[in-house]
Amino acid sequence: MKTIKVSAPAKLILSGEHSVVYGYPAIATAVNLRLTANSLGEITSDIPIGAGMGSSAAFAVVSSALKSKEFDLEKINDMAYQIEKGLHGKPSGVDNTVVTYGGFLWYRKENENFKTFKQIKAKVKLPKIMLLNTGSPTETTKEMVEMVGQRYISKKSSTESIFRNIESVTKGFLDLLLGGSEDFGDLIYENEKLLEELGVVSKATKEVVRIIEKAGGRVKISGAGGKKDGSGMAIVYHKDIEKLSLIGKKHGFLFKPVKIGEEGVRIEK
């Protein structure tokens, strides 16, 4: 019997972490770190587990694709969603959808039972980015979610203002993807500033961000962040990617180059 090999990408939040919980939009993208499995049950993966990069969805999508006879993306996505439901209770469907179809996905929770999903047909190629692990947060992600929730209650007006500004940045990314004139670096910069204002970026991470910014780069954390030590994964961008390797060498930052807008699930030869 012929062995079939299938792979699926990781997922990254480009913009909208935290605010998405409160009904503001987010853009997720597929990243070229892939989980590969074959019909013999062998699995290999480049996707970090528990880092909010969709490792569970990639596994669900690949498992569904291996079971699917005609490699129908809609069916694969539906099956993967059911697997995710069994694992996580109430998945939004963002992860399995972006991992199945690849590219970029606009998402908003209108209410608990109604969500808006829209595949973004990118008219431009976004630049290459780097991932930088700013270190493991001391806090659990539950504590970060709770902290933002408490801020939302105690400083509702200013927190909503931050969320609205994050929404503008998210719309800026959408505009850029659709061929608009927004600047990728500026959007990353704005997004980071707002996440810092929200209080989900640690002092140590801010220092790293400032070093890279001083050298002309742009950084934003991607995920729930961290307040005391590290803030988890960050997206790093520089118009001149060579300069990033120099900064990396000088300061000991380990950048990992990744491509966003990556292809979704596929059969490997």
Site of interaction with other proteins (CB under 8 A): 13, 16-18, 20-21, 26, 28, 49-52, 54-57, 86-92, 94-95, 107, 109, 112, 115, 140-146, 149, 223-224
Closer CB to other proteins, residue 15 or residue 165? 15
Which residue type is seen at 25? P
Burial of residue 54 (CB within 10 Å: 0-12, 13-18, 19+) is: buried
Structure tokens given for 246: 């120099």
Non-local (6+) Cβ contacts of 269 within 8 A are 5
β partners of residue 13: 28
Closer CB to other proteins, residue 28 or residue 244? 28
Closer CB to other proteins, residue 106 or residue 217? 106
Residue 18 C-beta: closest distance to other proteins, Å: 6
Closer CB to other proteins, residue 12 or residue 37? 12
**Do 226 and 232 meet the contact criterion of CB atoms below 8 Å apart?**
yes
Burial of residue 55 (CB within 10 Å: 0-12, 13-18, 19+) is: buried
Closer CB to other proteins, residue 244 or residue 258? 258
CA 40 to chain centre: 30
Residue 116 CA to residue 114 CA, distance in Å, equals: 7
Structure tokens given for 259: 């491509």
Residue 210 C-beta: closest distance to other proteins, Å: 24
Residue 53 C-beta: closest distance to other proteins, Å: 9
Residue 41 C-beta: closest distance to other proteins, Å: 18
Residue 199 C-beta: closest distance to other proteins, Å: 14
Residue 203 C-beta: closest distance to other proteins, Å: 21
Closer CB to other proteins, residue 197 or residue 213? 197
